[in-house]
Amino acid sequence: MPVRMQMEQLQRVASLCTALEWVTSCPDVSARDAVLRLIGEEVSATIQGVIYSIESERGASEAA
C-alpha cells in the first residue's frame, strides 16, 4: 500500500475519532453504544490494515 493510501486510512481514523465527540452527547444509550461499537471496529480495522501494509512492505524490502 503506497504511503498516500496509508495516510488516507489514518485520516479516516482521525475523522472517526472526531465522530466520537458527537456520540458522547447522544442521549440514547442504546444508540450511543451501537455507534461506539461500530466506530471502534472501523478504527481497529483501519489501523490493522495500515500495520499489515507497513509490515508487508518492510518484509519485502528486507527480502530484497
b/e per residue, 12-26, with b = 16+ CB within 10 A?
ebeebeeeeeeeeee
Question: What phi and psi values does residue 46 have, to the nearest 5 degrees?
Answer: -65, -45
Mind listing the pLDDT tens digit for each residue in 11-62? 888 888 878 888 888 889 998 999 899 988 988 888 898 888 888 888 777 7
Whole-number pLDDT of residue 30: 92
Computed over every residue of the chain, the mean pLDDT equals 83
Give me 24's grid cell.
458522547
Provide the domain limits for residue 37: 3-63
Chain centroid to CA 2: how far?
Answer: 17
Does the pLDDT at position 63 exceed 70?
Answer: no
What is the count of structural domains for the chain? 1
pTM exceeds 0.75, yes or no: no
